[in-house]
Amino acid sequence: MVEHARKALIAGNWKMNLDHLQAIALVQKLAWTLKDRNFQSTTVEVAVFPPFTDLRSVQTLIAADKLDIGLGAQDLSRHDSGAHTGEVSGAFLSALACDYVLVGHSERRADHGETDEVCLAKVQAALRHKLTPVLCVGETAEDLEKVGAAAVPVSQLTTVLEGISADDEIVVAYEPVWAIGSGTPATAEQAEEVCSTLRDTIRNVHGDEAAERTRILYGGSVKSSNIAGLMRGANVDGALVGGASLDAEEFAAIAQFEKHVTVD
Ligand code: 13P
């Protein structure tokens, strides 16, 4: 088993799936499954990122049953309040005891034209409200062909790092766009290579301490059958899981990657 320098984070991005009743059912099942499997949260943290309309229900469940499950939102406004119809303030997420918020997921970059500058403003908004932003970066298949794997994620990350301070706590999620929902993840070597380059980027902009402290996740077709291999990378500190996070058994099995026999 690889000794991880940072506490692993296994994060479930539910995307636009499950209403608040279905959310309660899934989180209850996840909690039972983790308990049944004797999951230990000392080295691995589990968090879920439900749609906005589910957050209050999931928060109530987590608080009432004292579940060891983190909570995050999938987006936030760059503004704090005011005339921004349809937007959700980081202040409201903070009031719902959210720990995390995704910023710049490739689906938001593609569907809503979110630029690196918008992502920076959202990261700053999250930090203002004491939320840990999970900044998503990653290259498309076209980028991969033209400039290789690391260039685009490095540039996306650099824009954000240059607008925050070394003490600010963020999580980075490397999600190659071509791997998302495709059933074909990056290989463990590809994931480690880009995550290592992203850590070097943090080191260059904010120094050693920030580079060693910051968790860098991999996302894109993560399943229980491939997580152990991905987690063997010294610079891969966890996973941002989409489809597989909607199945309690499968997500719990991913969270227990430390127990998997790692075969390549
Ligand atoms: P899949 O795990 O469904 O490929 O989605 C990954 C993702 O986009 C998580 O944010």
Q: Would you give the DSSP letter of residue 246? A: G
* SS3 state of residue 4: coil
Q: What percent of the chain has pLDDT over 70?
A: 97
Quick: pLDDT tens for 51-108: 999 999 999 999 999 999 999 999 999 999 999 999 999 999 999 999 999 999 999 9
Confidence of residue 41 (pLDDT cuts 50, 70, 90): confident
Quick: pLDDT tens for 121-139: 999 999 999 999 999 999 9
Contact 245, 13 (CB under 8 A): yes
pLDDT of residue 228: 97
Which one from 45, 107, 114, 175 is the annotated catalytic residue?
Answer: 175
**209 labelled catalytic:** no
Q: Would you give the DSSP letter of residue 113? A: -
Confidence of residue 262 (pLDDT cuts 50, 70, 90): low
Contact 138, 155 (CB under 8 A): no
> How far is residue 186's CA from residue 248's CA, in Å, rounded to a whole number?
23
Confidence of residue 5 (pLDDT cuts 50, 70, 90): confident
**Ligand 1 centroid distance, CA of 107 (Å):** 10
**87 labelled catalytic:** no
Which residue ranges have their beta carbon within 6 Å of ligand 1?
13, 105, 175, 180-181, 219-222, 240-244
Substitution candidate for ligand 1 out of 15, 106, 135 with most atoms within 8 A of CB? 15
The mean pLDDT of the chain is: 96
Quick: pLDDT tens for 145-172: 999 999 999 999 999 999 999 999 999 9
pLDDT of residue 184: 96
Contact 126, 133 (CB under 8 A): yes
Where does residue 152 rank: exposed (0-12), middle (13-18), buried (19+ CB within 10 A)?
buried
**Ligand 1 centroid distance, CA of 68 (Å):** 23
> How far is residue 255's CA from residue 39's CA, in Å, rounded to a whole number?
8
Confidence of residue 261 (pLDDT cuts 50, 70, 90): low
Confidence of residue 2 (pLDDT cuts 50, 70, 90): low
The closest residue, in CA terms, to atom 9 on ligand 1 is 242
Q: Are strands 215-219 and 132-137 parallel, antiparallel or unpaired?
A: unpaired
Q: At what angle do helices 116-128 and 151-161 cross, to 10 degrees?
A: 40
Q: Using the predicted structure, report yes or no on whether residue 3 has a pLDDT greater than 70.
A: no
> How far is residue 79's CA from residue 124's CA, in Å, rounded to a whole number?
10
* SS3 state of residue 41: coil
**Ligand 1 centroid distance, CA of 141 (Å):** 15
The closest residue, in CA terms, to atom 7 on ligand 1 is 242
Across 158-221, the runs of DSSP E, i.e. the strands, are 171-174, 215-219
Residue 187, C-beta contacts closer than 8 angstroms, at least 6 positions apart: none
| Partner residues linked to 46 by β-bridges | 10
Q: Which atom of ligand 1 is nearest to the CA of 49?
A: 10
pTM: 0.97
| Averaged pLDDT for residues 18-38 | 97
